[in-house]
């Protein structure tokens, strides 16, 4: 049952599955003990030792050396023990090697079943250990199969499987076998005997990590991402900030001739990205968040609620198709925003309030990418 080919196969197993040989041997020894105790008439506990160097297997009957026997299955008297080993004394454990018996086809199959379970447990533990600190990271992977709407990917150095569920897939994106994609590791789902790596293409974290990779100033901490609002596949708004007044935070993210942001747009399949300069003044921040529309002014109307006034001909741009631009601005800022045309605001608030400079106009209109 155990031969030279088996021991040689352990090296392949270690390379392919990332399971240490010692771990697998320990699991095999444990499984063989279970089977051997069922298949052979052995007195005492069974201990099996595999030796990869010698490519051998040794089986031992282990018993407790005692003055008076209380458990006939596990105990042996000092006198009997000294017949085997002269120096044996009470309190020792005596391991006697026994000749291996052919466990037969049924026993071998049982070993295989037990080992399969142990292999799953070791793989499960390795997956959890490898990915427990990978949550929130951007990783490259390869699509291996697509079933029932789920996209299964090969991820990490040990060819571990991740799953991209329908809710984490971008509408309109096409996924094909052997295609390489970047994914955001959402969660390592540790459920009983199975571990599953949940990945996403729709998470805001994906955008955050892409900007970190493309913009050195973000990775270095010179530029900070304050907030991201996203409707995957359509539009993202990202608010950035730098405490260093000499740093052009928006320019750093856009890159020379738009190279940096365009690389991210390409990775996201043409998704539009609005890069917004964060402000500690919430009204000014709201003005910028409604980019690419020009905002005349913002009036606070309650606790974390405001009215944004825009030129009449920019109302549809400010609100966006199906309300998307305004909706993303709300999520980006955390404020409730009521977008009004200038004529509607004049009618509702009066000319003085609309023209009163509660907040300065946005000096720079960020182009739509």
Question: What is the share, in percent, of the chain residues with pLDDT greater than 70?
Answer: 82
30 vs 120: CA distance, rounded Å = 15
Question: What is the share, in percent, of the chain residues with pLDDT greater than 90?
Answer: 54
Task: Return the closest-CA partner of residue 340 out of 298, 365, 309.
Answer: 309
Q: Does residue 105 register a pLDDT over 60? A: no
- What's the pLDDT at 52? 76
Query: For 125-150, what is the mean pLDDT?
Result: 86
Task: Return the closest-CA partner of residue 139 out of 166, 119, 161.
Answer: 161
Query: For 8-20, what is the mean pLDDT?
Result: 69
What secondary structure does DSSP assign to 158-181, as a single string?
TTEEEEE-GGGSPTT----TT-EE
Q: Are the beta carbons of 197 and 188 closer than 8 angstroms?
A: yes
Cα→Cα distances 329→290, 339, 356, Å: 6, 11, 23
Q: Which residues contact 294 (CB under 8 A, 6 or more apart)?
A: 310, 311, 314, 361, 362, 365
- Domains in the chain, CATH or no CATH each: 4-131 (3.30.1480.10), 139-201 (2.40.50.140), 203-278 (3.30.300.20), 282-369 (3.30.300.20)
Per the document, the length of the chain is 369
DSSP at 148: T
Query: For 287-293, what is the mean pLDDT?
Result: 95
Task: Return the closest-CA partner of residue 369 out of 241, 222, 211.
Answer: 211
200 vs 169: CA distance, rounded Å = 7
Q: How confident is the model at residue 28 (pLDDT cuts 50, 70, 90)?
A: confident
Between 31 and 40, the higher pLDDT residue = 31
Task: Return the closest-CA partner of residue 344 out of 303, 304, 296.
Answer: 296
- What's the pLDDT at 2? 52
Burial (CB count <10 Å: 0-12, 13-18, 19+), residue 349: middle
pTM above 0.85? no
Residue pLDDT, tens place only, 111-134: 667 667 777 777 777 777 777 778
Q: How confident is the model at residue 26 (pLDDT cuts 50, 70, 90)?
A: confident
Q: How confident is the model at residue 351 (pLDDT cuts 50, 70, 90)?
A: low
Q: Does residue 199 register a pLDDT over 90? A: yes
302 vs 317: CA distance, rounded Å = 25
């Amino acid at each position: 049952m155990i031969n030279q080919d088996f021991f040689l196969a352990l090296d392949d197993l270690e390379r392919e599955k990332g399971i240490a040989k010692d771990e697998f041997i320990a699991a095999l020894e444990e499984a063989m003990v279970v089977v051997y105790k069922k298949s052979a008439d052995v007195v005492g506990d069974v201990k099996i030792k595999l030796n990869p160097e010698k490519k051998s297997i040794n089986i031992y009957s282990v018993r407790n050396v005692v003055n008076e026997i209380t458990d006939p299955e596990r105990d042996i008297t000092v006198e009997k023990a000294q017949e085997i080993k002269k120096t044996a004394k009470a309190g020792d454990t005596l391991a006697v090697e026994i000749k291996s018996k052919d466990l037969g086809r049924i026993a071998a199959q049982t070993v295989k079943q037990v080992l399969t379970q142990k292999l799953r447990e070791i793989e499960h533990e390795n997956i959890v250990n490898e990915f427990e600190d990978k949550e929130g990271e951007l990783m490259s992977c390869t699509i291996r199969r697509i079933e029932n709407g789920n996209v299964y990917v090969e991820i990490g150095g040990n060819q571990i499987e991740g799953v991209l569920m329908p809710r984490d897939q971008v509408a309109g994106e096409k996924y094909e076998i052997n295609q390489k994609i970047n994914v955001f590791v959402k969660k390592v789902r540790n459920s009983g005997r199975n571990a599953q790596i949940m990945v996403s293409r729709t998470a805001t974290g994906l955008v955050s990590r892409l900007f970190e990779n493309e913009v050195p100033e973000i990775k270095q901490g010179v530029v900070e991402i304050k907030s991201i609002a996203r409707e995957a596949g359509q539009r993202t708004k990202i608010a950035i900030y730098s405490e260093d007044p000499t740093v052009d935070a928006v320019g750093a993210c856009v890159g020379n001739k738009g190279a940096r942001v365009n690389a991210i747009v390409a990775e996201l399949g043409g998704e539009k990205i609005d890069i917004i300069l964060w402000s500690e003044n919430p009204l000014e921040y709201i003005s910028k968040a409604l980019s690419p529309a020009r905002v005349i002014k913002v009036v606070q109307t309650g606790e974390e609620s405001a009215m944004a006034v825009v030129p009449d001909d920019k109302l549809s741009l400010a609100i966006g198709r199906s309300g998307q631009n305004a909706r993303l601005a709300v999520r980006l800022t955390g404020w409730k925003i009521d977008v009004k045309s200038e004529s509607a605001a004049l009618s509702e608030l009066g000319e003085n309030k609309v023209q009163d400079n509660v907040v300065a106009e946005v000096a720079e209109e960020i182009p739509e990418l």
